[in-house]
Amino acid sequence: MASHCCEAMNSHVNVRCDQHDDRFACPDVLIEFRAAFQEYGLIIHDGGSSSSTIEFCPWCGRRLPESQRDRWFDELERRGIDPWEDEVPAEFQDDRWLAATPQD
Ligand SMILES: [Zn+2]
Ligand SMILES: [Zn+2]
């Protein structure tokens, strides 16, 4: 299990609710962690699936890891994959691609 900046963030990212299959439908879930991008979002409970990306932890105040979204697109492009048209490989659907990709 990935560990985050503090216990509070850990527990919010890992909230499991047996009443809501969709995390966005659950009022107890405040944080959406997009592992593939290493992005944290504050869920906006407006009935949709929107969230607002945050740069600092609301609980401990630490700066969160830098978003890897641009690298994600670059890496797929380098492999000749168009994420809108082609199937995105499994390791790109979570943070496994980061381990397989050397840092510059
Ligand atoms: Zn719930
Ligand atoms: Zn924190």
Half-sphere exposure of 19 (CA within 13 A, CB side): 5
Ligand index nearest the alpha carbon of residue 3 = 2
Among the bound ligands, the one closest to the CA of 33: 2
Whether 21 has a pLDDT exceeding 80, the answer reads yes
Residues 40 and 73 in one domain: no
The amino acid present at 16, given as its one-letter code, is R
**100 CA to centre of ligand 2 in angstroms:** 26
If asked whether residues 47 and 76 sit together in one domain, one would say no
pLDDT, tens digit, 9 for 90 and up, residues 41-94: 999 999 888 999 999 999 999 999 999 999 999 999 999 999 999 999 999 999
Is residue 13 a part of any domain in this protein? Answer: yes
pLDDT given for residue 71 in this prediction: 96
What is the 44 CA–ligand 2 centroid distance (Å)? 19
pTM of the prediction? 0.85
pLDDT for residue 100 = 83
Quote the tokens at residue 43: 């869920």
Q: What is the pLDDT of residue 101?
A: 80
Looking at the fold, whether 11 and 43 belong to one and the same domain comes out as yes
Query: How many angstroms is it from 4 CA to the middle of ligand 1?
Result: 22
Residue 6 confidence (pLDDT): 97
Number of domains making up the chain: 2
In the predicted model, is pLDDT for residue 103 greater than 90?
Answer: no
Cα distance between residue 11 and residue 25, in whole Å: 18
State the distance from the centre of ligand 1 to the C-alpha of 79, rounded, in angstroms. 39
The model's confidence at residue 104, banded by pLDDT at 50, 70 and 90, is low
Tell me if 81 sits within 8 A of 97, measured CB to CB.
no
Q: Would you say residue 20 lies in a domain?
A: yes
* Domain range for 27: 7-54
Distance between Cα 30 and ligand 2 center (Å): 13
Q: What are phi and psi of 22, to 5 degrees?
A: -90, 115
Instruction: Name the percent of the chain in helix, strand, coil, to the closest 5.
Output: 25, 15, 55
φ/ψ (deg, to 5) at 69:
-60, -45
